[in-house]
Structure 1
């Protein structure tokens, strides 16, 4: 794209297919898939970050050099060749970019950070990073600390090859600060940085991070020169016609997201979506010149549609009985407070230091207490947002609601909160306002997603990025309303069901949704299984059994690694920073104990078998409504077959593209696969829907209504293809399949189809419908329409 302006729907692809690049799957490997993805019906390749990342990176989000394509991925020649091959097939190229931060874990790998450490404030790159130089030397929290403050680790420092060395890490020496024979401690003390205990990062760090990751330093892209330096290579690809779209990572972390996106739109005319979690009912700021989000809002609505609301009471009762907290709000508040006061205390202290002292503080006999109250007020406010962050001045209502909520929770801090409120409203573009806003998103993400979602394990299918565990299900009316709003407001937004960040794949959630139809049976099984082999903490125990059933079959190692990560994130029996070796050993051994017990293993397998078919039905249903609904649907790599992956890095495992290619060839020959363990039926559905989108470019949205005794088990909508006068594309899916079967099936239930001339054909089966007429409307009997597959893709000829 060479345009110099952007519109919200510029160059929107018909669909995207996400590829996770790594040294084991390079740009050249991606080029080898172009023909296959074209045959599948994909509209654009959607690549994980391709700029040079930290040595050994398996995901690319830890960029160390934004000016060059990663040599480990094949370099710029491989990128250009991939773009050329995609263009030959008519496919677009979308790239994930990371404007918020860079990796500094290996200073010698990041030339910009190396220069900052070497020259301090005088570095030509000093303005690129969000460093508080006024606070003194840059603190680098890397020293080992066994409760001794890290002091003994200073004895391990050496000067090696003109660098300060700490084990395998290297740090620069400022010019003129070392001469042979100098004591290493003295040399260290002359630098523009200080190596300190790793434990000091959360509370004393002098540079802003990505969340609480010390090795990822925030970049100041709000500075025009920094924007130019970090985006020059990306924009060069666009000028060459080799880039059609961008996915902007972690937009909430930026100082001024709207300003950044407007600057980006002025330089790039392609399709842009932002990684942004929206609270239910929240919309993107209208001033943002983007197509939309990366789709977590759609994920919540689509997946919730297949959860049975009648299962809520039994799951809640089980959680309470097992000792698992079920009050989502209380969980959220506690987890966010921990994030603000412990994990992100350095950021809170930096904000508090920007606040002018209150009039009475100068005469306060306890000035430290006054400073402490300011920190508490900042932390309380950060915990009080109903959304991830406000965007002032547009988001003033969200800001005001947060201030009121904080004041209600801590009346004793009301004067300090009122001062903050006046300061921020008086200068919404000032530094205190900017830092509070960008930090609130960090608090919500770390508190809610990374902690509370691992503590409130009542029903794990709800605990997803963008999810709301307090809302057990999404009814068809809410689903249709959300889809209609999406089509009306941002029709080119991305939609998704699985990403590299989701806690569990779409197919795991689909099987768990089936459990919501048989909650009493599952609860009884959990009670029996727990009595025989419990995990050492209630929330983890309940999560463990749901995970085992949802991801079955799963090996011991995969399950153990997932449960260890979940336990550390929850911070109930162990944590990333204070690991309990005995607790973790009990977690690590649990999969082996369960799977090594023949009777218990057989019981679990039987429970899985009872919901396996319903899970497949749910998987096909949610995929159909995502792929044919409003927005640009993304298919995460490998999920065109059943994929039972868990949170990263499990969801970045290699994909067997060869087996998928073999199945695709059979489908092209006319094979109509059964719904079975191979997942070929899902591939058939994905291929059918993606090719239909590319062929017909459907738009609009019309909810359709079934009638009959099983009407509540059907969800359907119609859309209109390009150039057509009447709706001529219909998606139909089955909801709550176990309840449908228990009620005797579809029986007399029919679906009213849109009026207009022509016959309807199911693209999945090739069957031409012979609809009946009821009360003047053309209706399709669902028993016939959904006889072979639990979904249908109808096109009017």
Structure 2
């Protein structure tokens, strides 16, 4: 649930009865400590000691928790231990550091490299060069408040510099006053090269905290500890643990602070990576599951065909691994250049301390570090004072070997040196030099995570558009869907090892909502139709393109991306005039963000007004064409039906899977949202309450108007009721994959969870375009023929329809006779 000034504790309390009737057990709320004014997300905390007054009062929070408890529910807190919002005068700790410099009691709270800054903290906040801002009178002295003012920002003056302060007569006098401060005001572009405090990724307004310091941990968690100990607060979600110096240590301290029954971490894992078993956490926030669920409904046999369609239309030939590598290097050469430079300087000092390594230069080390980070196979490793695990050593070895093979550095032995420091093999058993190497290794770990996040998810994912349903946080777009076998293997592992991990499908961080991904995923089954559609739409919109200096804009790759975005959010019945206007604005905003994130033709740092104007013109004019609108309506009509059927199957699989299902606000009905801020639009809870209050006497009737989402709501409500009645099945039950026969082996995802005499069985169709039913839902014998499932022994009731079933050979035509998915529960 996203809390902000327009939806605070009071509004959240109002919908608790609705959530309880839906079957929700906990409200997982976005951060609600005091954040920057107007924050819509809460991840820019400015004061850990206070509740955000825009969201509500402590009394209103108490009332929310009491209301949750009254309905048998609880609250999950979202903690932000890695960073704070700092640049707009709202953060008292940061203001104290600006005023008192290294003498501030809060200086150690933030990860500041004072040596690199020449004893000053760089503040890259100016819209132009410092001298120009000074000469243009944009920097002013407020003598009454003893602050320097720059538009809506102001900065404190240290006491020594204001002693006997006379009238500042000119810009030179103001400059001299500023030179006496513990900070240096600078043009915002300077940040890329000279920033001397660690940030959340490359966001200058979010300064990293040193949560590894016990004093910092205590100060930032005092209010959290008080909240976490109270009845009704049942869990903690940890934001971005990979930004922390030592996540394992942090989680240990967190458990000692408040022994909560449930802790999950926002950890993004590669396919071959597991969550650290020694972390005191019950699992992750579910990015891997979201991608597994999307991939289950993509025809992985179509990968080669789709690649050819994409290449022929866009002209793009670069492989994704090359795009990923180049994008990471781009990030390290631009927005994270200062961090890379700082790491190289640290490593150069280490190298200079030994006669065998002193000839390695800062330049050569910087290149080696960049190549290693560009090929790092995971977000980061976890080398600490406790040592280096075999897993971390394997990841480091892999990255170093890959970088060395591809490198053209004259002296390749530099890679061996870097490896020996990262693995601590070069470190003595104790002493200052070991401490120096350990600190470097730990800082490098905090560097690779933002390199991957910004280089891959926020750059490469916007450059490679083969099937954008796959371009999701934590996924590898090279994996074109998952087989049933792979899905069952992952589910079995989760049931056995991580039964309390969160399983998500949409979050505030996903690039596209679960229902958009479901719809776009069906394109994998419609390769020929997609190829012909692209050709027709390109011809229709040829006149909307702009010719600039011999180049036709926008690029064919961006045009390909635009068509997928349009298909993903277009109303199933076609938009009316008002809806079309809203769609136009949403698509304009999304495509502008997409091309700036891609950093090919334009970017946030260096926007190309000409390219952006051409792109906007293309989007707007295409949506003014009656011929194109008709084409869009016709194409979406079939695609939307298939997508909604996939959404129903996804909803069934998710609610029946081992783990803890997480439902992003509003997704209990169909939600067709794109990336933030599109996915933060207000939720129509009145509509959802109305639908939930309607009695479902005939579930088949829900299929007559599939687009209203009531069928999805029915699946979620009934599934959550089963989970509440039989929790042990989902958190300790044994997982059994079930397979159909008679030619429908690939068209049904079915599994059972069993514990003692109790069992639940889920049956969800997949690859709907191959089922041969062009109009309705895939029901009965005409679709499923003689195909059967071998159910575990027992007597079952389908909680979605009320129908009975017996264990043993069960015809799919009977299980799916009136409703497109089935959820069976044993009757004991």
Contact 1:253 1:438 in 2 (8 A): yes
Give the 5 Å matches for 1:227-376: 227-270=217-260, 271-321=262-312, 322-325=314-317, 327-357=319-349, 370-376=361-367
Q: Do the aligned partners of 1:325 and 1:456 also contact (CA within 8 Å) in 2?
A: no
CA distance in 2, matches of 1:507, 1:450: 21
Task: Note if 1:152 corresponds to 2:150.
Answer: no
Q: CA RMSD of the aligned region, Å?
A: 2.0
Q: Which runs of 4+ in 1 moved over 6 A?
A: 358-364, 668-671
Are the aligned partners of 2:381 and 2:395 in contact in 1 as well (CA < 8 Å)?
yes
Change (3 A) 1:362 1:701: closer
Pick the aligned partner of 2:186 from 196, 212, 229.
196
Which of 159, 166, 173 matches 2:150? 166
Partner of 2:734: 700
Task: State the Cα distance separating 1:75 from its structure 2 match.
Answer: 2.4
Shift of 1:677: 1.1
Rounded to whole Å, the distance in 2 between the matches of 1:513 and 1:195 is 49
- Which secondary structure state, in structure 2, belongs to the residue aligned with residue 72 of structure 1? coil
Deviation digits for residues 40-71 of structure 1 (CA, Å, limit 9, x no counterpart):
00111100001011111011011101111100
Q: Hey, what's the Cα distance between the residues in 1 that align with 2:100 and 2:824? A: 65
Assess if the C-alpha contact under 8 Å between 1:138 and 1:206 holds in 2.
yes
Q: CA deviation at 1:326?
A: 5.1
> 1:727: how far off?
4.9
Task: Please state if 1:755 is matched with 2:739.
Answer: no
Pick closer, same or farther for the CA change 1:337–1:439 going to 2, 3 Å: same
Asked if residue 718 in structure 1 is aligned to residue 752 in structure 2, the reply is: yes
Structure 2 residue aligned with 1:604: 632
Q: CA deviation at 1:360?
A: 8.4
1:142 is aligned, of 96, 103, 125, to 125
| Cα distance in 2, alignment partners of residues 158 and 664 from structure 1 | 58
2: CA distance, partners of 1:624 / 1:590 = 39
Deviation at 1:786, TM superposition (A): 1.6
Q: Distance in 1 between matches of 2:239 and 2:644?
A: 32
Write out per-residue CA displacement over residues 478-531 of structure 1, whole angstroms, 9 at most, x where no aligned residue.
000000111111110001000000000000000011111111111211122123
Quote the Cα distance in structure 2 between the aligned partners of 1:46 and 1:230: 20
Aligned residues: 762
Local SS of the residue matching 1:290: coil
* Mapping 1:424-443, distance limit 5 Å: 424-426=422-424, 430-443=438-451
Q: Is the 8 A contact 2:348 2:361 kept in 1?
A: no
Does the CA-based 8 Å contact 1:128-1:219 persist in structure 2? yes
TM-aligned CA deviation for residue 273 of structure 1: 0.4
Bigger relative contact order, structure 1 or 2 (CA pairs below 8 A, ≥6 apart): 1
User: Which runs of 5 or more residues in structure 1 are unaligned?
Assistant: 1-18, 772-776
2:767 paired with 1:736: yes
Instruction: Check conservation: 2:96, 2:104, Cα contact below 8 A.
Output: yes
Question: How far, CA to CA, are the matches of 2:758 and 2:481 in structure 1?
Answer: 29
Offset of 1:88 from its aligned partner? 1.4
Shift of 1:700: 2.3
2:560 is the alignment partner of 1:542: yes
In structure 1, the residue corresponding to 2:480 is in which secondary structure? coil
- Match among 677, 683, 689 for residue 713 of structure 2: 683
What is the rounded CA distance, in whole Å, between the counterparts of 2:361 and 2:64 in structure 1?
A: 59
How many Å apart are 1:79 and its aligned residue? 1.4
> What is the CA deviation profile of residues 432-456 of structure 1, one whole-angstrom value per residue up to 9, with x for unaligned ones?
0111111111101111100000000
Q: 2: distance between equivalents of 1:645 and 1:357?
A: 49
CA contact (8 A) 1:502 1:647 kept: yes
1:727/1:754 contact within 8 Å kept: no
**In 1, Cα distance between the equivalents of 2:695 and 2:559?**
42
The match for 2:73 among 69, 91, 99 is 91
Distance 1:357 1:103, change over 3 A: closer
Aligned counterparts, 1:544-583, within 5 A:
544-553=562-571, 555-583=583-611
Cα deviation, residue 291, structure 1: 0.3
Deviation of the 1:278 alpha carbon: 0.5
- Per the alignment, residue 493 of structure 1 pairs with 501
Secondary structure, aligned partner of 1:324: coil
One of 48, 60, 64 as aligned partner of 1:66: 48
CA distance in 2, matches of 1:199, 1:537: 28
After superposing the two structures, state which structure 1 stretch, 458-467 or 402-411, moved more.
402-411
Residue 497 of structure 2 is aligned to residue 459 of structure 1: no
* Alignment match of 1:766 (pick from 761, 782, 802): 802
Query: What is the deviation of 1:789?
Result: 2.4
* TM-score, length of structure 2 as denominator length: 0.89
Q: CA deviation at 1:359?
A: 6.8
Contact 2:467-2:521 within 8 A present in 1 as well: no
CA distance in 1, matches of 2:95, 2:745: 64
Query: Is 2:73–2:232's contact at 8 Å kept on the other side of the alignment?
Result: no
Question: Which of 152, 167, 175 is residue 181 of structure 1 equivalent to?
Answer: 167
- Cα distance change, pair 129–327 in 1 and its aligned pair in 2 (3 A): same
The aligned counterpart of 1:415 is 413
Q: Residue in 2 aligned with 1:11?
A: none
